[in-house]
């Protein structure tokens, strides 16, 4: 691994690029790095110990909570609280926001929103899963408990965002608004090393990622876009291909590297879509834009949406610029009756 920069070294080196540059954000990212290592360890032995399967409860969205959902949630909360840079968190697994009550935490400048284990139902069948995180500067006075307004900020206010993908290799990918960089975990050293510097998504891709099992319930414009992908052969003669893992982090990561579009539109059963604006869509939109892509709800930029609720859902179209623009065109030309 000689010559490779570790995540810690890279963060310190790039600290001047951070908005409101300070050591606090560097330390906060170190908390996420630590929690990711712990969760990675448990995921990699999931078939050997009793941590797979449902725990028998549901989260606020009505989804069955997996044992590893709760494990990851607790580990990330503990790591973020311990470093004193975070005054509170909001999690997909928590009904309400969580305030860290120690005096040092209440003097912290940041709040973190997270999906601790995206795609956790796939663990039982050994499919890649991930953690998604989003960091904001608080808007409430420092020295007081965080308020709901600290968390209900539009995506363009994000200070940093990223994800960890636990797959054939474990990677941490993040942005602070100065490009996107990826770090691969070396378990022999216990460190994340820079492996993908200045990641960029191609303007045009050949992959579309959507659960076509819901096709009959999709809006008319989305149906027509899928047909366009199936029937249109680009000038280079290589047709579009459908790839859908069912784990947002995994699908997004592949499309980031190879070019493509991820789609989770509204359906008859979920008219507002199914993905969460704050925990999933905003951080992925920030990453996509910093990598040269884009993210939309089909009509407007994701990061311009003013959130009204902690667990608000939105339709989501994210990836290569030209592909997102094309599906927006089909949606605009085919309004619902």
Tell me if 272 is assigned to a ligand binding site. Answer: no
**For 267-311, what is each residue's pLDDT tens digit?**
988 999 999 999 999 999 999 999 999 999 999 999 999 999 999
Q: Are residues 192 and 225 in the same domain?
A: no
Tell me if 264 is assigned to a ligand binding site. Answer: no
Token pair for residue 209? 């990622």
Distance of alpha carbon 39 from alpha carbon 129, whole angstroms = 11
In the listed set 137, 161, 196, which residue is the last one of a domain according to the structure?
196
Tell me if 117 is assigned to a ligand binding site. Answer: yes
Tell me if 92 is assigned to a ligand binding site. Answer: yes
Tell me if 118 is assigned to a ligand binding site. Answer: yes
Element (H, E) at 127: none
- Model pLDDT, residue 62: 53
- Model pLDDT, residue 325: 97
CATH number at residue 274: 3.40.190.80
Chain-centre distance of CA 18, in angstroms? 20
Q: Are residues 150 and 284 in the same domain?
A: no
Q: Is residue 202 part of a domain?
A: no
**CA-to-CA separations, 1 to 14, 172, 186, 310, in angstroms, rounded:** 21, 17, 9, 42
Tell me if 63 is assigned to a ligand binding site. Answer: no
- Model pLDDT, residue 285: 98
Q: Averaged in consecutive runs of 10 residues, what is the pLDDT profile of the chain (337 residues)? A: 78 69 80 94 67 50 68 94 93 94 89 93 80 97 95 97 94 95 94 96 95 94 96 79 94 97 94 96 98 97 97 98 97 87
Q: Are residues 153 and 301 in the same domain?
A: no
Q: Do 140 and 270 meet the contact criterion of CB atoms below 8 Å apart? A: no
State the residue range of the domain holding 108: 7-196
273: region left, alpha or beta (phi > 0 left; psi from -120 to 50 alpha): left
Distance of alpha carbon 222 from alpha carbon 63, whole angstroms = 25
308: region left, alpha or beta (phi > 0 left; psi from -120 to 50 alpha): alpha
- Model pLDDT, residue 120: 78
Distance of alpha carbon 272 from alpha carbon 289, whole angstroms = 23
- Model pLDDT, residue 53: 46
Q: Is residue 34 part of a domain?
A: yes
In the listed set 196, 216, 238, which residue is the last one of a domain according to the structure?
196
Tell me if 304 is assigned to a ligand binding site. Answer: no
Tell me if 211 is assigned to a ligand binding site. Answer: yes
In the listed set 196, 226, 250, which residue is the last one of a domain according to the structure?
196
Tell me if 121 is assigned to a ligand binding site. Answer: yes
């Amino acid at each position: 691994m000689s010559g490779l920069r570790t995540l810690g070294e890279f963060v310190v080196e790039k600290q001047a690029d951070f908005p409101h540059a300070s050591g606090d954000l560097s330390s906060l990212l170190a908390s996420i790095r630590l929690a990711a290592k712990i969760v990675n360890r448990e995921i990699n032995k999931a078939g050997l110990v009793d941590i797979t399967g449902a725990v028998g409860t549901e989260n606020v969205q009505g989804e069955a909570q997996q044992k590893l959902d709760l494990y990851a949630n607790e580990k990330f909360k503990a790591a973020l609280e311990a470093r004193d840079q975070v005054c509170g968190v909001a999690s997909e697994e928590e009904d309400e926001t969580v305030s860290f009550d120690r005096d040092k935490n209440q003097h912290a400048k940041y709040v973190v929103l997270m999906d601790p284990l995206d795609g956790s139902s796939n663990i039982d069948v050994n499919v890649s899963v991930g953690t998604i995180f989003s960091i904001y500067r608080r808007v409430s006075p420092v020295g007081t408990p965080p308020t709901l307004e600290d968390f209900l900020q539009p995506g363009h206010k994000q200070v940093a965002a990223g994800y960890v993908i636990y797959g054939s290799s474990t990677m941490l990918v993040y942005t602070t608004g100065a490009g996107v960089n990826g770090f691969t975990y070396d378990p022999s050293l216990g460190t994340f090393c820079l492996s993908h510097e200045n990641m960029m998504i191609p303007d045009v891709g050949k992959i579309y990622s959507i659960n076509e099992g819901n096709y009959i319930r999709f809006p008319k414009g989305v149906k027509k876009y899928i047909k366009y992908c199936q029937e249109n052969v680009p000038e280079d003669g290589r047709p579009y291909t459908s790839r859908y893992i069912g784990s947002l982090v995994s699908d997004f990561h592949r499309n980031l590297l190879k070019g493509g579009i991820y789609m989770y539109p509204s359906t008859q059963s979920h008219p507002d879509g199914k993905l969460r604006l704050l925990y999933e869509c905003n951080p992925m939109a920030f990453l996509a834009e910093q990598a040269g892509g884009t993210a939309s709800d089909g009509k407007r930029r994701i990061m311009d949406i003013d959130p009204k609720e902690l667990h608000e859902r939105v339709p989501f179209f994210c990836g290569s610029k030209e592909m997102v623009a094309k599906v927006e065109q089909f949606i605009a030309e085919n309004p619902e009756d």
